[in-house]
Amino acid sequence: MSEGDTPIKTRSLRTLVTLAAAVALSLCACGSAPSPPPQPTVPVEPLRIGDAATDTVGGWLPAGVTLSPFDVSNPIVGWLDPALLKAVQDAADAAADDGIDMRITSGWRTTGFQQRLFDMGVQQHGSVEAASEFVAPVEVSKHVTGEAVDIAPVGPICG
């Protein structure tokens, strides 16, 4: 002990040195632990969630239900191509100035829903060719890319 050291200072210093040595030893022990044995490799299959995951209703509206061109919270409207959406909204504003409530009856659709519509068309009309006059196949449908929209009211407007 030096002249200014007290027994408490010396004990504190010894405790600190002992603690530092213990930490150093434990760190060394952690670093030298043996690595685990290699695990056998298992071939990974690509993720497949099955046919049930095909969305055949995305873009469906119940009969008689229409949407406002401003209802962008619904994917039928909100997932339209931005330029088309703006054009439809501008047209709806202009129609409103003339007292016409322009509504959307169909817009964006999933490929599964478009395929379902086409398959139903083939059943109803008897052939792919006949169905193609009323509903587009998935490969050419502009609904699945958000580049097509069907508007209501349809028919003559009497005033």
DSSP class of residue 107?
-
pTM of the full structure? 0.61
Q: Which residues of the chain have pLDDT under 70?
A: 1-57, 154-159
pLDDT for res 28: 43
Q: State which amino acid sits at residue 47.
A: L
* pLDDT recorded at residue 58: 85
pLDDT of 121 reads 94
Distant-in-sequence, close-in-space partners of 95: CB < 8 Å, separation ≥ 6: 101, 102
DSSP secondary structure code for residue 53 in this structure = G
The confidence score (pLDDT) of residue 82 equals 97
Q: Which residues contact 102 (CB under 8 A, 6 or more apart)?
A: 69, 88, 91, 92, 95, 96, 151, 152, 153
pLDDT number for residue 2? 52
